[in-house]
Chains A and B, each alone.
Chain A
Amino acid sequence: MPLNRAGAAAWLAAWAQKAEANVDYLTDLDRQIGDADHGANLKRGLAAVTALDPDGFAGPADYLKKTGLTLVSTVGGASGLLYGTFFLRVAAAWPSQEGDAAGLGAAFKAGLDDIQKRGKAVLGDKTMVDALVPAFAAYDAATAAGQGIGPALAQAAAACAAGRDATVPLIARKGRASYLGERSAGHLDPGAASATYLVEAAASTLP
């Protein structure tokens, strides 16, 4: 799909579909180290997002901005706030030209920067940041080497999944899971899991 409203809508729909299909899994991950609401929260928020009519907006930027605000308002937990922050920033930096792989990477990077600024999480804190940092680094490396959006997103999705899986041995330093200290080690971080759905959804829809 192109980088227009329809493409963005396909991305969000694919993300929602993945999150919905795995709602019990996400909730279960969150039960191990959190408050067991991540799956349900995200499902509720994404249902509100997919209910938006992309044709009702002037362009993809307006649509993605509304997506951000909707996530902020409907998800409730820190994850909604962080994903909302991501989309607010991505919307502002969304490339205006079709096929602008570097521009799309810059938008992702801007969104990730704001997630990190808001949540103050760094690599290794066992959060969604652990999946997203390697994902967008892989994306940038691919586009810098001259690859297009499709292959770059495929590599981003692979790196994202690797980052997600590597959260298992970590000790959480942010969010509710950090209350568990050492006991948080040995579990996959639910935020890293849902972030991977986000990037995988992009890889399957945006190229």
Chain B
Amino acid sequence: MIGIVVVSHSLALAEAAVDLASQMAPPERRPVIRVAAGLDGGGFGTDATAVAAAIRGADSPDGILILADLGSAVLSSELALELVEPDIAQRAQVCPAPLVEGLVAAVATASAGGDRAAAAAEANAGLAAKVEHLGPGDLPAGVLIPGAAVAGPAPDAAALVWQGAIENEHGLHVRPAAALVANLGPFDAQIQLSNQTLGKGPVLASSLAGMTTLGLRRGDVLAARITGPEAAAALAALRELAANRFGEGKKGAAASKTADADDAAAPEAADSAQTGRQIVVGPAQHLAAVIDVSGYLPGDAAAERTRLDEAVAAVLARLQAKAREQTRHFGIFAAQGALLEDPELAQTLHAGIAEGRTAVAIVEHDFAALAHELDALDDPYLRERAQDIRSLARQLTAELTGAEIDVSEAEGILIVSELDPFVASSLNPSRCLGVVTCSGGATGHGVIVAAARGIPVVTGQKEAADIPNRTIVGLDPVHQRLWVNPTMAELAEIDRLAVERRNEATLAAELCQEPAVTQAGRRILVEANIGCLDDALTALGNGADGAGLVRTEVLFADWDHAPTAAEQADSFQRLGQALGGRMLTIRTWDPGGDKPLAFLPQAPEANPMLGERGLRAMRRAPELFHTQLEAVALASRRTPVRVLFPMVCEPAELRWAADKLTQVLGRTGGHVAVGMMVETPAAALRAADFGPLVDFISIGTNDLTQYAMAADRGNSAVAHLAQGEHPAVWDLIRLAAKAFAGRPIAVCGDYASQPELVPRLVAAGATELSVRPPLVGLVKLAVRTRA
């Protein structure tokens, strides 16, 4: 017979409940019941060590059922399961049933010979009788009762129950919810799900719309109640789905694992330790650009086709996993995945198989041909894709030949022909000191990923291809300098520079939480540009005075449906919380160009950078814009926020946006400061025209440079114009700042992240600098010492 443990805040309550339940069974058929209730001194409370002792006392080979009253009683029971011997813990189960009803039902079932699962099911169904009598109207939302909130069969005693916390990064959004509906649909069972944490539901698991109303976020507890002929099989399927994070990963068992497993799964947290500006010296190591395929044994056409399909599926799965893991760079990996999913590509590959070629040969030649075609195109965006194609070919070839392309063990200074984002994201920053690329500019996706992870990169060094392995090389990412086989004198010089750079970083870190005040006594706010929660935490750790730019299109890049106002407001609240309640500057959706939004499809444009970007795209999708402004208004009641409108050229555009905001605030109340991005020469030249319409401006130097210099940031042929600083851009900055003198003037482009430019920005009138999160301390130091 099973044993039962009663955990309560009150000893009197527990003992009375046991007395009551004992009436259900004759003395010789009563299960062992142990009580852990109240505190030693007689007060209300629960004690996990006492619960552990009770569990040991009630132990039985048939298992132990634990029933608990409120809040910490449940937590104490869970902790107690960790305190007892593992074999005992395995036999024990904490039951979510209400204490009195559950205990009565469990004792009755146990005395009739029911096993632990049966007793648990009966206990969980313990509320049913009351509900049947009183009707569902008297139930608080979220109590799991069949037929209470959804149409369904009458209460069924043979119900199975399950609950577990959602571990998916973004909660149970549409994709995992759809996986749940699809996987549980085939069973002949009624499955009711609810969000235990928020008290929402229950809804039927067959309804995707219903699922989304549960609003399951990460950490929320999903509860299921399953009845019907195939209930057991459905429960097993649900368990498996949950263990696999509903199709989004394999870390399901982590809930019961120790922190070691979690640490390994959270590489991004450690990534922010370095700024990527450090000077490094180490032995060179080439990453082979070409994988040896001479040992490949071809099969027949059918086998080759299967291998190719499997390789594509494996690489796609890996890219999707990367996209989820590298939340900052979701778009980069998602774009590579999309290339691989292109049906036309599959057709081309299969046609090659039909011609009798091997999978390896097709990948090698067709991808090379495609990359070559793209390389030859005028369009710089398509040229950028050529690099993606080569990266995909490499991954597919490795998959087909079994070649090792894992670079996480790479040590020293890695030399690559070009740095693809997959490699950049797989490097171990504590082993790989730096990267040298033979071709490609400083704006490639791989370089961006590496920089964000604190790995210094020097780009476009053609001669690096000939450096023998293990040659000592040094690199300075700030001045893009490379030393090959340095002499003793050079080594001493490198060492001196490295120490200087490191001392600067240390000093910056020590003072980072202090305000940045110029020598003339002006306080400059140094804020961070953020796109995810980790960015916000990094920013706080580095002393940010707030977020000068929240890139909402990055924050929600991996959502395949438009987030609701409440969902967005929740995200903003978390960012604000992570920043210790400092000001968030929320930039409204800025899609277009190189950052599409999945839920705002856009027709291809010949010149996307000159096309429907920022506010322009919002005029086509006003409801999306309206929802975001509602989110800003909602968030403003919980955490300090202001709003920033991107891609403005004329006052009419801004007036349209500001009117929308006024309408929303008219309904919700409150006030939100309004700002505009100054990122077009038109806006900078005529900044005074916008004066009456906004409270502050934020100068985006990257786009301002691109548009003023007529040079594309992604095109390495014009990199000398698109990067670096230019007198024309400085003039535009000064003009805009002069027109807004006396009001907040922020700079959020790359200019602000360069300590050497800080004094000139401050002199031009900037009052706020918003920079990459790891650089906040350095920029603050530059304000104090140079401005």
Chain A positions within 8 Å of B71 at CB level: 77-78, 175-176
B79 cross-chain contacts in A, Cβ below 8 A: 72, 81, 84-85, 118
Cβ distance B570 to chain A, nearest Cβ, rounded Å: 7
Instruction: Evaluate contact between B259 and A118: CB separation under 8 angstroms.
Output: no
Contacts of B581 in A (CB 8 A): 162, 165-166
The reply to whether the CB of B638 lies closer than 8 angstroms to some CB of chain A is: yes
Partner of A81, one of B48, B262, B574: B48
- Known: A73-B40, A124-B570. Is A169-B637 also a contact (CB below 8 A)? yes
Residue of A nearest to B274 (CB): A144
Asked if B541 is at the interface of the complex by the 8 Å CB criterion, the answer is yes
Of all chain A residues, the one with the shortest Cβ separation from B777 is A145
Q: Is residue A183 contacting chain B, with contact meaning CB distance below 8 A?
A: no
Instruction: Find chain B residues with CB under 8 A from A165 CB.
Output: 580-581
- In the complex, how many angstroms separate the beta carbon of A39 from the nearest chain B beta carbon? 14
The answer to whether A200 has its CB under 8 Å from any CB of chain B is no
Known: A166-B577, A170-B573. A118 touches B255 (CB 8 A): no
Of residues 631 to 672 in B, which have CB atoms within 8 Å of A's CB atoms? 637-639
Q: What is the minimal beta-carbon distance from B66 to any residue of chain A, in angstroms?
A: 15
Q: Is there a chain A Cβ closer than 8 Å to B517's Cβ? A: no
Q: Flag whether A173 is at the interface (Cβ < 8 A).
A: yes
Let me know if A75 is at the binding interface, CB within 8 A: yes
Does residue A30 face the partner (Cβ distance < 8 Å to B)?
no
Q: Which residue of A80, A109, A138 contacts B540 across the interface (Cβ within 8 Å)?
A: A138
Q: Given that A76-B43, A142-B509, A169-B638 are known contacts, is A118 also in contact with B580, CB under 8 Å in the complex?
A: no
Q: A141 to B272, Cβ gap below 8 A?
A: yes
Binary per-residue interface labels of chain B (205-247) against chain A in the complex, 1 for a CB within 8 Å, 0 otherwise = 0000000000001111100000000000000000000000000
Instruction: Report the minimal beta-carbon distance from A138 to chain B, rounded to whole angstroms.
Output: 5
User: B49–A72 contact, CB under 8 A?
Assistant: yes
Binds B, one of A10-18, A20-28, A54-62, A151-159: A151-159
Question: Across the two chains, which residue of chain B brings its CB closest to A185?
Answer: B638
Q: State which of B47, B217, B273 has its C-beta within 8 Å of the C-beta of A73.
A: B47
Asked if B541 contacts A141 (CB within 8 A), the reply is yes
- Interface contact A141-B75, CB-CB below 8 Å: no
From known contacts A110-B259, A141-B538, A169-B637, infer whether A81 and B570 are also in contact, taking CB-CB under 8 Å.
Answer: no
Residues of B within 8 A of A109 (CB): 259
Q: In this assembly, does A49 line the interface, its C-beta being within 8 Å of a C-beta of chain B? A: no
Residues of chain B within 8 A (CB-CB) of A176 are 71
A119 close to chain B: CB less than 8 A: yes
Q: Known interface pairs A123-B578, A146-B506. Does A140 touch B541 (Cβ–Cβ under 8 Å)?
A: yes
Q: Is the CB of A78 within 8 A of B72?
A: yes
Chain A neighbourhood of B509, CB < 8 A: 141-142, 145-147
Question: Is there a chain A Cβ closer than 8 Å to B316's Cβ?
Answer: no
Query: Which residues B580-603 have CB closer than 8 A to chain A?
Result: 580-582
> For B43, what are the chain A residues with a Cβ–Cβ distance below 8 Å?
76
B576 part of interface (Cβ distance < 8 Å): yes
Docked-complex contact B39 and A74, CB < 8 angstroms: yes
CB distance from A198 to the nearest CB of B (A): 17
B40 near A74 with CB under 8 A, answer yes
Whether, in the assembled complex, A113 has its beta carbon less than 8 Å from a beta carbon of chain B, the answer is yes
Does B510 belong to the interface (CB within 8 Å)?
A: yes
Give the docked Cα–Cα distance between A86 and B540 (Å): 23
Are A77 and B78 within 8 A (Cβ)? no
**A81 touching B72 in the complex, CB below 8 Å, given contacts A145-B777, A159-B540:** yes
**B residues within 8 A CB of A31?**
none
B68 to chain A, nearest CB (A): 12
A9 within 8 A of B: no
Q: Does A89 sit at the interface, judged by CB under 8 A? A: yes
Chain B 264-290 interface mask (CB, 8 Å, partner A; 1/0): 000001001110000000000000000
> Can you list 19 A-B contacts (CB < 8 A)?
A76-B9, A77-B71, A80-B72, A118-B75, A122-B218, A123-B578, A124-B574, A134-B578, A134-B580, A141-B538, A145-B505, A145-B512, A145-B777, A162-B540, A162-B580, A162-B582, A163-B577, A166-B577, A171-B638
Binding site for B on A (CB under 8 A): 37, 41, 44, 69, 72-78, 80-82, 84-85, 89, 93, 109-110, 113-114, 116-125, 130, 133-134, 137-138, 140-142, 144-147, 151, 155, 158-159, 162-163, 165-166, 169-171, 173, 175-176, 185
Q: 6 smallest A-B Cβ distances: which pairs?
A: A76-B45, A141-B541, A145-B509, A162-B580, A166-B581, A144-B273
A sample of 16 more A-B contacts (CB under 8 A), given A134-B537, A142-B541, A162-B540, is A41-B45, A72-B76, A73-B40, A81-B48, A84-B79, A85-B79, A120-B221, A137-B537, A141-B538, A141-B541, A144-B274, A145-B273, A145-B509, A151-B510, A158-B513, A159-B540
